[in-house]
Amino acid sequence: MVYFDNAATTSPKPEVVREAVAYALKNLSANPGRSGHDLSLAASQMVYECRVALSKMFGFSSPERVVFTLNCTHAINMVIKGLSLNNCKIVTSSLEHNAVMRPLEKLKKQGCTIAVAEVFMDDPEATVRSFAGLIDDHTKLVICTHVSNVCGAILPIEQIGRLCRERGVLFAVDGAQSAGVLPIDMEKMNIDFLCIPGHKGLYGPMGTGVLFCGKDIPNTLTEGGTGNRSVSLIQPDEYPERMESGTVNLPGIAGLKAGIGFVNQKTIPHIHGYEMGLIQAAYRGLKNIRGVTLYTPYPQADLYAPVLCFNIGTYHSAEAAELLNQAGFALRAGLHCAPAAHRRLGTISYGAVRMSPSIFNRNFEVQALLNRISRLAQKLY
C-alpha cells in the first residue's frame, strides 16, 4: 500500500518513535508526578523533557504551560470551552475543521456571535483585511487554522496575530496541519493558544496532542487527580496540573519526544520543501489528465502546505478513492470533517479526494499514482 493520507496521521512512524514507545512500556511504566520512587521520577523526567522540546520547537518560553491532551481536537475544546465566552463575538475563517466549528456552534446558545472571515488563498493581505473588518469591540477571540486540511492553503498567521495583539483580542491557532511542517514561533506570531496533534507532522503516536497555554484558561474541561494539593477538592491553579487531570499517555509522550527529535534532525524547512516537491509534481501531472478537477491554483511553497485535493471526472470522491485503494493507494475522500472548507471550494455535495505525502514518500510513488488516476479517467472519456 502506498500511503498518501498523512494529513490524517503520518505513516509509517519513524523507527526511533517505535523504539521510544517500546522502551517506555518496558522501562518507564510508572505514573509520572504521582510517586517518589525512582521509576516514577524517571517517567516524570521524560515527560518534562518532552515539554521542553516542544517549547523550543514552537517558540514558547513556558514549558510548564505545555499541556498534553488526547489530540488536537481535545486541545481546541479546552480553549473554546474554557475561556468563558458568553455574549461576545468570535472570529474564525472560512476554511475551518469541525474541531473548531462544532464547539463554536455550541457557543451560539451562550449568546455568542460567530463571524467568518473569508480566506483568499493566493492573497494573504486580502485575508488579513477580511479578519480586520470583522474584529470589533465585542470580539474576545480569534481562532483559525494555520493550514487548511482540505486544500493546504496557509493562512497569514503572523499578520493575524499582530492584528489581534494590537486590538487586545485573544488569538488561538489550530496547528493540526502545520506543526512539524511549517515553522511556528508563538511569541513572534503573537499566538496565545496553540493546539497541535502529536501524530501528524511530528510523527508521534496517535492519542497524543498538545495545548500551549500562553494565557490562563479560567474554566477546566476536566477535574481530578493531579498529584499535588490533594487535600483540596478545588482544581489547582498551577500549570500544567490545572489542565492535566489523571494519568498522561506516557508511552505516547515518549514517542512524541522521539518524533520531535526526528523532525529536528530532518529540519522543518527540508520537510516542507521535500513534501511540497511531491505535491507540485502531483499537481503538474493531474493538470495534464483530462477530466481531473483541481480546486486551487498551482501550490506555491510560500502559500501552501503539502495537501492537495481533486476529483476525477464523474466519479464521486468516495468511489474514486475506493478504486485507488483497490489499486494499492491510500488517499482520503469525502468532506474531511471540514464542510466549511468544502463549501468554500464548491465541493460540499460530493467532497474531494485528498493527497497528503510525508517525508517517507518517493517521487516514483507519485508517478505511479498519476498513472493509475490517468487510467481511471480514460474509462470515462
Question: What pLDDT shows up at residue 36?
Answer: 82
7 in any annotated domain: no
332 in any annotated domain: yes
- Interval 242-284: pLDDT, tens: 999 989 999 999 999 999 999 999 999 999 999 999 999 999 9
3 in any annotated domain: no
For 111-120, 170-179, 217-226, 289-298, which range has the lowest pLDDT when averaged over its residues? 217-226
Question: What pLDDT shows up at residue 226?
Answer: 78
333 in any annotated domain: yes
Average pLDDT over residues 298-310: 98
Work out the percent of the chain whose per-residue pLDDT is above 70. Answer: 100
Pairing of strands 308-312, 292-294: antiparallel
Residue 57 has pLDDT above 80, yes or no: yes
Indicate whether 152 and 113 sit together in one domain: yes
- Interval 98-109: pLDDT, tens: 999 999 999 999
Residue 33 has pLDDT above 80, yes or no: no
| E strands in 146-277 | 170-174, 193-197, 209-213
Residue 319: pLDDT band with limits 50, 70, 90: very high
Average pLDDT over residues 181-187: 98
Residue 343 has pLDDT above 90, yes or no: yes
Question: What pLDDT shows up at residue 31?
Answer: 86
Residue 10: pLDDT band with limits 50, 70, 90: very high
The last residue of a domain, from among 205, 231, 265: 265
Average pLDDT over residues 298-318: 97
Indicate whether 290 and 249 sit together in one domain: no
Average pLDDT over residues 366-373: 98
Indicate whether 54 and 145 sit together in one domain: yes
For 35-49, 198-212, 287-301, 343-357, which range has the lowest pLDDT when averaged over its residues? 35-49
Domain count, the chain: 2
Owning domain of residue 51: 15-265
Residue 231: pLDDT band with limits 50, 70, 90: confident
Burial, 232: exposed, middle or buried (Cβ in 10 Å; 0-12, 13-18, 19+)? exposed
Q: What is the pTM of this model?
A: 0.97
Residue 358 has pLDDT above 90, yes or no: yes
Question: What pLDDT shows up at residue 14?
Answer: 98
1 in any annotated domain: no
Indicate whether 190 and 248 sit together in one domain: yes
Indicate whether 236 and 340 sit together in one domain: no
Residue 233 has pLDDT above 90, yes or no: no
Average pLDDT over residues 127-156: 98
Indicate whether 161 and 288 sit together in one domain: no
Indicate whether 248 and 271 sit together in one domain: no
CB 42 within 8 A of CB 30: yes
Question: What pLDDT shows up at residue 180?
Answer: 98
Here the CATH number for the domain that contains residue 289 is: 3.90.1150.10
Indicate whether 107 and 175 sit together in one domain: yes
The last residue of a domain, from among 265, 280, 314: 265
Query: Own/partner pairs for 374-380, CB < 8 Å, 24+ apart?
Result: 374/289, 376/312, 376/313, 376/315, 376/320, 376/323, 376/324, 377/289, 377/290, 377/291, 377/292, 377/312, 377/313, 380/291, 380/312, 380/313, 380/314, 380/315
Residue 192 has pLDDT above 90, yes or no: yes
Indicate whether 108 and 184 sit together in one domain: yes
Residue 198: pLDDT band with limits 50, 70, 90: very high
Question: What pLDDT shows up at residue 266?
Answer: 98
298 in any annotated domain: yes
Indicate whether 249 and 325 sit together in one domain: no
Q: How far apart, in Å, do the first and last CA atoms of the chain sit? A: 28
Indicate whether 233 and 129 sit together in one domain: yes
Question: What pLDDT shows up at residue 15?
Answer: 98
For 31-35, 53-57, 66-70, 122-126, which range has the lowest pLDDT when averaged over its residues? 31-35
296 in any annotated domain: yes
226 in any annotated domain: yes
The last residue of a domain, from among 232, 265, 298: 265
Average pLDDT over residues 113-120: 98
Question: What pLDDT shows up at residue 275?
Answer: 98
Here the CATH number for the domain that contains residue 199 is: 3.40.640.10
Indicate whether 110 and 225 sit together in one domain: yes
Work out the percent of the chain whose per-residue pLDDT is above 90. Answer: 91
Residue 230 has pLDDT above 90, yes or no: no
Average pLDDT over residues 136-155: 98
On average, the pLDDT of the chain sits at 96
